[in-house]
Chains A and B, each alone.
Chain A
Amino acid sequence: MTRRDLTHFRLIKTVLHRRGPQFALTALALGGFVLAIVSGLAGTPVGSRNFGIVAVWIAWWAVLMLVAVPLFGRGWCSICPIPAPGDWLQRGALLQPATRGLGLGRRWPRATRNMWLQNAAFAVLALFSVVILTQPIVTAVVLLALLFLAVGASLIFERRAFCRYLCPVGGFVGLYSQLAPVELRVKDRAVCAADRQKSCYTGNAAGCGCPWLVYPGALEKNTYCGLCLECLRTCPHDNIAVNWRSVGADLLQPRGRRLDEAFKALIMLGSAIVYAAVMLGPWGTLKSAAYNIGSGTWLIYALGFLAFVFVVLPGAFLFTVHAGRKLARSAVPLRRAFVHFAYALIPLGLAAWVAFTLSFVFANLSYVWPVLSDPMGWGWDLVGTAGDSWTPYLTQVVPALQTGVLLGGLLWSGVTVRRIALEGRSQHPVFPLTLPVMAFCLVITLGLLGLLVG
């Protein structure tokens, strides 16, 4: 596997090393974030005319799912505005790498040092998503809540506890960042081992110790590296590399596979299926059920959603893994096989989200132009596009694109299933072991094809 260290390029290294460019992008994002909150609270309640809804759920979501995550993994987290104010308070500085700021600096409780809270946070947001996506005020409240949580976490706990353990977006961005063709790693582990100071973790005058509680010297996966680039600044040995690598390299790393992450993969895949059915399907009753929060039908929808993503889909997957073990007479414990094979669902999961997003975004992208000109929906016309009418884009090619993406995801997942099975080659024949799991991936893909292009 070839890796190419992008920091060899002078320009890239300078841009990444300096705080200015990253700060500027964060500040810009924070500006948009604040405007989204303000327009959500004070602007028009008509979602498709409100900057908050259009900027967050169409523009930001499109950039995140179609560009940032597939290409840069956690690139978004590098400039995310949500943790920024808390971060600045915690450090007592905006641009300088100061070390004395506010906050209690507590350690995060050990029992929740995993992805379960993020799994729960995502599921809760998903239950209300049809309302969040369509009501400006609800979007504003959710953004504010995330901001408060992030600031609170920064003041009580050390480093970026919110990002690492709470953020509902951070969980799946981390999961899918394993597929990205970009990674931050150390150049030479021996240099790290010989270094007593470990400034990248403890911090020094040049920057903070890893805000994500990650020791770069041991990094093997992108999942919890927020690409904040502090270690690039603190490492006195210039031992940090930002590599261009082959996509999905982390999936083939057997060490460190965990049940919470396996469930994240299943929850995300399940949610993509539900979203495709509810939001892009032709079933009006399903939409009203998801929208009328608190009603009896919503309760049924909510329970159905939770049952599907936490029980039915994982249960079906468990069953296929079990069947494969039986067919192959494999001695690998069921739980272990379940966890390991779940990582093969990550490409299909991202493909499902990209396919969902393609349809949703291109159909609604033209709402962006009027909203730029009239963010509050108050009848302004700042750049002359307030009157632009709605036109869905690329309607003739989107279904083919979605198909291609889903098939690509299936193929990638299939290759990964096989690679994971080959990791324990001595213990079991690969073909019968993978057959049921592949069938699972195939059925999911056919279901998604039916929902999105059928």
Chain B
Amino acid sequence: MHEVDMTKCLLLSMQDWRQQHGSVSPSVEVVHLQVGDFTCVEPAQLVTTWDVAIRGSWLEGARLSIEAIPLVGRCVCCSATYRPSAESAYRSPCCDHPMEEVVSGRELRIRSVDYTLTASVPAEKPAPVPS
């Protein structure tokens, strides 16, 4: 359910990004996200809510590509990295130490946007200058 709100936030960020291009409207093909395994986000649900949210908007047809980032911890005893799991209470297999340092897995990031610019026609006429 919270994926709907996540998508709203994502759309706001995309809107900000679009405004950087001024009057030329970018046509977005792919939005690349990185979503960590140690977050509350279900990538499949995010794609579903995205597809619904962009209908009829300037992003219509844009695809969401999600790269899942695994949870990786670093054992503070021996500095080895490991894949914490709920089954082993997130402890390190090397020294049986609790999960203190998280190296990756908390990402919720808009990594990049693939798009094209239609250079010829400006999307909007420049506003008339008041005299």
Q: Are A and B a genuine interacting pair, yes or no?
A: no
A residues with CB within 8 A of B: none
